[in-house]
Amino acid sequence: MDWFVFVVSGVAALVGALGVVLARNPVHSALMLVLTLFSVAVLFVAQEAHFLAAVQVIVYAGAVVVLFLFVIMFLGVDHEEEIGKEKLIAQRPMAFVVTMLVLLQVMLLARTRWATGASSVTGVASDPGTNIEKIANALFTRYLLAFEATSVLLVIAVVGTVVLARRTPMSGIRSVQEVDDTPAGPAPTEAAAEAGQ
Amino acid sequence: MSVPGPWYLALAAMLFTIGAFGLLVRRNVLVMFMCVELMLNAVNLTFVTYARMLDDIGGQVVVFFVLVVAAAEVVVGLAIIVAIFRSRAEATADDISLLSG
């Protein structure tokens, strides 16, 4: 049963990943990304990381992919990309060779047994209790500083996004308001002042 | 623990490789971004596998932080992409070469 789950969701994850890379339409890529993210969530459940599986589905497959799709639709780039021409010579063969080398190295590392180091004493994953309790215990004791730093990071991300997405006069594109205002002569306040005199 | 950890690690390595290949090959900035997400997910899978193999909850906590950072990264990155698309209509990775000198 475990092998069945592993094989099915592993194949689905690989198919989704290939779909992300090979699909010409960005919308199809985003939908294939959902398949991969969901399969990885299933693999999390198979390894008793239940909380992370839930977060994966909610945050990644939910929020992040919806954000991707929103940006694709907002920018109107949901047309086919022409894949034919390459700007760099032999970019794809070189990329293939390099990534195959990376795969070979990581596979060799996965075969070795250097990962069996000293096991934890404070946060043992096979302790009694639910997965979310153990994660909370580790998160709010040992990793508390990192947790607080995460909140600062989120605030910075929100502020940065608002600043980036705002239309400013310096951004190269003038807003509709400015374009409407420029051909007029003196500013309305000055005109009103002159009329008053 | 019937499926041994190295199988999960091999699967994660393949996912990471596909993501890296897509990042090197594709030109659409949004698709490149999705490939980065693929690579992050492969590494998350590796962390969870090691958390199980070493019987340590710390690996899962690290994945939690990676998820948060990835969400923030997606938000800021998509804002940058929108800002780039505003100034030029068609923006592939080849067109955005202002810093190449």
Note the helical H segments in chain A. 2-22, 26-46, 50-55, 65-75, 91-111, 131-139, 144-165, 176-181, 188-196
A132 vs A52: CA distance, rounded Å: 9
> Would you tell me the crossing angle of helices A2-22 and A26-46 to the nearest 10 degrees?
160
> Where does residue A90 fall: left (phi above 0), alpha (psi -120 to 50 degrees), or beta otherwise?
left
Burial classification of residue A20, based on how many CB atoms lie within 10 Å of its CB (0-12 exposed, 13-18 middle, 19 or more buried) = buried
Beta bridge partners of B28: B92
On the question of pLDDT at A181 being above 60, the answer is no
Closest alpha carbon to A170 in B85, B83, B82? B83
Give yes or no for residue A185 having a pLDDT over 50: no
Considering CB atoms only, which of A87, A99, A153 is closest to B94? A87
**Predicted-complex ipTM score:** 0.90
For residue A25, the SS3 value is coil
pLDDT tens track for A136-158:
988 999 899 999 999 999 999 99
In the numeric block, which tokens belong to residue A159? 């502020």
Measured CA to CA in angstroms, residue B10 lies from A54, A103, B6, B23 at distances of 23, 9, 6, 20
Instruction: Determine the Cα–Cα distance for residues A67 and A72; give it in Å rounded to an integer.
Output: 9
The answer to whether the beta carbons of residues B76 and A157 sit under 8 Å apart is: yes
pTM, full prediction: 0.82
How far off is chain B from A184, nearest CA to CA, in Å?
Answer: 25
> How far apart are the CA of B79 and the nearest CA of chain A, in angstroms?
6
Q: Which residues of A touch B15 (CB under 8 A)?
A: 13-14, 17, 36, 40
Tokens of residue B87, six digits: 């100034």
Contact status of B44 with chain A (Cβ, < 8 Å): yes
Nearest to B41 by CA among B13, B61, B21, B22: B13
- Per-residue pLDDT of A97-117, as tens digits, reads 999 998 898 888 777 766 666
Cα distance from N-terminal residue to C-terminal residue, chain A:
90
pLDDT tens by residue, A41-98: 999 999 989 999 999 999 988 899 999 999 888 887 766 666 666 667 778 888 889 9
